[in-house]
Each structure stands twice: as structure tokens, then as C-alpha cells.
């Protein structure tokens, strides 16, 4: 029973790996909160950094861009 369970898990993992090789991380910008943003705001530290940067841009209208240092990358944001 355990062998079948391991085998089925492996089948699932293989299919997942195959699907990952075919999916695109390229966002067409249509979803309201993309997976990329979700990853940022689900990390409390990153979310804080992002919110701080947005607050800063809102309070300093003359500044157009702000660098946000996230846990795995650095992005530059601006208000649309």
C-alpha cells in the first residue's frame, strides 16, 4: 500500500515537474493581485518594505520611484 502511495506521489511530482517546464512566469498584467505580488505580501517583512515604499511615494509626490529591497530580490516601484 505504501509503495503504491509513494509511486502515485512520484507520478504527481513528475507531472508537476513536466507542467512547470511548460508554464510561463510571464505575467500579462491582467490579474488584480498576481502570484508575484502574492509572494511578496505573504512574507510579512517584504510586505512591510513594500507598504513603506508606497507610503513614502504617496507622501513625497516629487519622487517618482523607490527601490524596495525584498528578501530574494530588489525591485523599483512607482505609482501609476
Q: Is 29 left (phi over 0), alpha (psi -120 to 50) or beta?
A: left
Q: Which of 20, 60, 70, 71 binds another protein (CB under 8 A)?
A: 20
Decide if 78 contacts 60 (C-beta within 8 A).
no
Contact call for residue 54 and another protein (CB under 8 A):
yes
Whole-number Å distance between alpha carbons of 51 and 77: 11
User: In whole angstroms, how close is the CB of 7 to another protein at the nearest point?
Assistant: 7
- Judged on CB neighbours under 10 Å (0-12, 13-18, 19+), 57 is middle
Nearer to another protein, 1 or 59 (CB): 59
User: In whole angstroms, how close is the CB of 80 to another protein at the nearest point?
Assistant: 3
Contact call for residue 18 and another protein (CB under 8 A):
yes
Residues that bind another protein (CB under 8 A): 6-7, 9-11, 13-14, 17-18, 20-30, 32-34, 36-37, 41, 47, 50, 54, 58, 65, 75-80
Amino acid at each position: 500500500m505504501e509503495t503504491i502511495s509513494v509511486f502515485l506521489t512520484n507520478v504527481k511530482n513528475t507531472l508537476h515537474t513536466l507542467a512547470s517546464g511548460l508554464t510561463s512566469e510571464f505575467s500579462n498584467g491582467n490579474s488584480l493581485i498576481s502570484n508575484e505580488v502574492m509572494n511578496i505580501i505573504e512574507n510579512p517583512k517584504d510586505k512591510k518594505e513594500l507598504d513603506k515604499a508606497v507610503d513614502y511615494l504617496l507622501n513625497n509626490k516629487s519622487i517618482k520611484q523607490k527601490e524596495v529591497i525584498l528578501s530574494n530580490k530588489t525591485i523599483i516601484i512607482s505609482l501609476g
